[in-house]
Each structure stands twice: as structure tokens, then as C-alpha cells.
Amino acid sequence: MKYAVDLHIHSALSPCAHEDMTPNNIVNMAVMKGLDAIALTDHNSGANLEAVSICARNQGLVFIPGMEVESCEEIHLISLLPDLKSALKLHEIVYEALPAIQNRKDIFGSQYIMDENDQIIGEEKRLLVTATSLTADEVFSLVTSLGGAVIPAHVDRSSYSMISNLGLIPEELKIKYLEISKNCDRYAYRAAHPELDGYKLIRSSDAHYLGDILERESMIEIEGRAAREADGSTDGFGLIGEESGQADDMAGIGEALRHVDEASRIREPDKDKPSAGLTACELINILV
Ligand SMILES: [Zn+2]
Ligand SMILES: [Zn+2]
């Protein structure tokens, strides 16, 4: 069974993200786009994870609590945890590893902490978009010890990526997946980087705006899971099917700017959905 995911999404806690990136808006947009699972990955903080997890649960969307940790080498690492408790543990450690620099809203933007009703319940004062004191190695050890998975972020970019900053993927790190950007041509990238043949590539949106959240274009396959595959039906949202092996390269962000109000109605969890019963843990097991 293949599941459509977007494992790199920012909320309004990230100062660079739009203030429309509220817990409900993110979840509603993901549901509207027909995704089976999403991860919230704010910069160096998990302060909005609980609110988004509540919204996701209410909408029957599988939610992976995560964080985009910046190592001391200025490498962005998508860190995905199996549950909220371990994610909040990571949050505590990463927060302590941030320099005590105050955010300048006028320069970087606001860092809103929200509840499950999209109410602003606080603002993070410490600047989140900066390097922590943790090495990439330490981030891997930490996340792994918490039962999570690490995916080096946007390796095709010229900054804040493992390849741009280290020049290679260290073999001693147990890495299975590398993230490529939403608009990266994966075939051209593969052709240009034969040294990465041993790694799987996964596309994520790195969405800072609602419209940027992926459609059903990035798939994770869990072999032997779920039974509705045989009838070829989609998950009931009427969007793109999942039969293509190259599904994560499907073009199509045409739906991207649909107004999120359309999705604001509460959706009854559908027990017949292919993703019913799917857990963050099962998805993470595929990624490590
Ligand atoms: Zn990044
Ligand atoms: Zn990001």
C-alpha cells in the first residue's frame, strides 16, 4: 500500500512561515489535497506539535510529530518522531542547544505558539532560525534513541543542506532517505549525483505557505499493509490515484491555491480509508 505524505511543513511558529499556517489550516489543506499523512517540522521547536496533532486526529489525518533541527554545521535535518512524548523530549533538548538570541520580529517575523483552535497562546521569544550547538552526528543519535528517523533536508539546495555543507553524506550515519525540494527534477538530480545511488529520494514541500503543501505526489509504500488496494479506489477524496511507481514525480500543484475555507468543515473520520489505523511509527519504520 502506498501512502501520500508531506513530511516537511512549517507552522506560524517558524518566523519565515506565513501566519496563515495555523494548526487547522495546515490539517485542512492536507486533507483537501488528499494526503494520508503529514509531519510538522518547525525550525528547532516542537511548540505547535500538540495543537496540530489534535487537529489531525479530529480530521482522521495521520500525523508525525517532527522538527527541522539545524545542526552546528548549519545542516537542516528533518527529525521525525513516533509520538508526541518523544517529540517534546527532542524539543526540550534542542531548545537548550539554541543560542540565547532574542527573535527580532521586525527582521525575522513572528513565532506564534497556537492551540488547536488556532488561537495564539504565546510567542516564542528565542530566535528559532539559527544553528543549535548539536552536531549532525548528535542529532542522529538523539533522534534514533527516541525511536525516530532523520532525513537530511533539501539536499539539492546550495545552503543548509548536508551535501552543500559537508560535500557528502557521511557513511557512518544510518541514512536511508534524502529529501529533495518540491521543484527539484529528481531524474536530473539522480543523473548528476551517481554517488547517491544507494539512497532513496523523497520529495517534501518545505511549505511555508498553505498552497505549497504537496498533493498526492510523494508516496511511501508499506508492503503487505491494508486491503483496499486491490479495488484500485482512491482514499475517497477524489484526487489522484496511487498506481504509479513514479508517483512522487507527478506534476501538479494546480489545486494549490484553493481557498482553505472550503475545508473548514469537520470531516468524519472514515474507517474505510486506506490510511485508517496507520501510525506514525509504521511510517517511521520505513524511513530508517
Ligand atoms: Zn531547511
Ligand atoms: Zn523547512
200: three-class secondary structure by DSSP: strand
- Specify the number of domains making up the chain: 1
**Residues pairing with 201 in the sheet:** 178
pLDDT in tens, 95-118: 999 999 999 999 999 999 999 999
Closest by Cα among 27, 22, 31, 23 to 4: 31
Contact 36, 109 (CB under 8 A): no
Contact 195, 189 (CB under 8 A): no
CA of 240 to the centre of ligand 1 (A): 28
CA of 223 to the centre of ligand 1 (A): 30
Percent of the chain whose predicted confidence (pLDDT) is above 90:
78
Contact 82, 284 (CB under 8 A): yes
pLDDT score at 120? 97
CA of 160 to the centre of ligand 1 (A): 6
Cβ neighbour number for residue 193 with a 10 Å cutoff: 15
**What's this model's pTM, rounded to 2 decimal places?**
0.85
Closest by Cα among 64, 12, 38 to 214: 38
pLDDT score at 134? 98
CA of 17 to the centre of ligand 1 (A): 12
**Residue bearing the bigger pLDDT, 261 or 22:** 22
Above 80 in pLDDT, residue 2?
yes
User: Residue 79 burial by CB count (10 A; 0-12/13-18/19+): exposed, middle or buried?
Assistant: buried
Question: Would you place residue 239 in the very low, low, confident or very high pLDDT band (cuts 50, 70, 90)?
Answer: very low
What letter would DSSP give residue 126?
Answer: B
Instruction: Return the ligand number nearest the Cα of 11.
Output: 2
pLDDT score at 254? 31
Close Cβ partners of 193 (under 8 Å, ≥ 6 residues apart):
163
CA dist 241 and 120 (Å) reads: 37
Quickly tell me which residue has 503487505 as its cell: 224
Sign of the Cα torsion 224, 249, 187, 287 reads negative
CA of 68 to the centre of ligand 1 (A): 7
- Give per-residue burial for 236-275: e unless 16+ CB within 10 Å, then b: ebebbebeeeebbebeebeebeeebeebeeeeeeeeebbb
User: Residue 70 burial by CB count (10 A; 0-12/13-18/19+): exposed, middle or buried?
Assistant: buried
CA of 129 to the centre of ligand 2 (A): 10
Question: Would you place residue 212 in the very low, low, confident or very high pLDDT band (cuts 50, 70, 90)?
Answer: very high
Cell of 146: 527516541
**Residue bearing the bigger pLDDT, 243 or 264:** 264
pLDDT score at 276? 80
**Range scoring the smallest mean pLDDT among 26-30, 235-239, 260-264:** 235-239
pLDDT in tens, 148-205: 999 999 999 999 999 999 998 998 998 999 999 999 999 999 999 999 999 999 999 9
Closest by Cα among 239, 228, 284, 283 to 263: 239
What residue numbers bound the domain in which 84 lies?
A: 2-287
**Range scoring the smallest mean pLDDT among 72-86, 119-133, 269-283:** 269-283
Give ion ligand 1 contacts, CB < 5 A: 76, 153
Cβ neighbour number for residue 167 with a 10 Å cutoff: 7
pLDDT score at 275? 83
pLDDT score at 256? 35
CA dist 10 and 8 (Å) reads: 7
The domain spanning residue 16 has which CATH number? 3.20.20.140
